[in-house]
Amino acid sequence: MNEQKLEPCSCGGEAKVIKDVLGFWAVECKSCLTRLGVSDTKEEIIEAWNDMRRKEMTEEKLKPCPFCGKEPVYVADGKVICVCGATMRSFNDWKPFTNQEAVDRWNKRYKEQDDEKTD
């Protein structure tokens, strides 16, 4: 079985895939009952949920680029990438970052650059 993993809900609760009475798929949080629906396929609704969660995390957490000062920097496949070409990714190909780790590293670098400037 090749189940795609669901990101947890923004409330921290566990999300689950459900099938409604009409046979459509949806994702629902077990804690706060936030629901995202509906889709014809399970894969699609999982992808949509995870996408939504990734965007939420990005909006909350990602700082503008320390090099060009622009947004949008965005997160994909464990990398933060700016339009100017600046990236933050794992240098260990055998152990890539999760998107969240990449965002954390990116923000840490941003903060360091900021500290240098205040000199």
Chain-centroid distance, C-alpha 115: 27
Here's the x/- map for Zn ion, 49-78, by CB under 5 A: it reads as ----------------x-xx----------
Closest CA to 55 of 86, 94, 99, 17: 99
* Size, binding site for Zn ion by CB under 5 A: 13
Contact status: 84 vs Zn ion (CB under 5 A): yes
Q: Is 16 in the site for Zn ion (CB under 5 A)?
A: no
- 89: part of which helix (H) or strand (E)? none
Shortest distance (Å) from residue 70 CB to Zn ion: 5
23 vs 85 by CB, closer to Zn ion = 85
The DSSP code for 101 is H
Return the H-helix or E-strand segment holding 38: strand 35-39
Helix (H, G, I), strand (E, B) or coil at 105: helix
Residue ranges that bind Zn ion, judged by CB under 5 A: 9, 11, 13, 29, 31-32, 34, 65, 67-68, 82, 84, 86
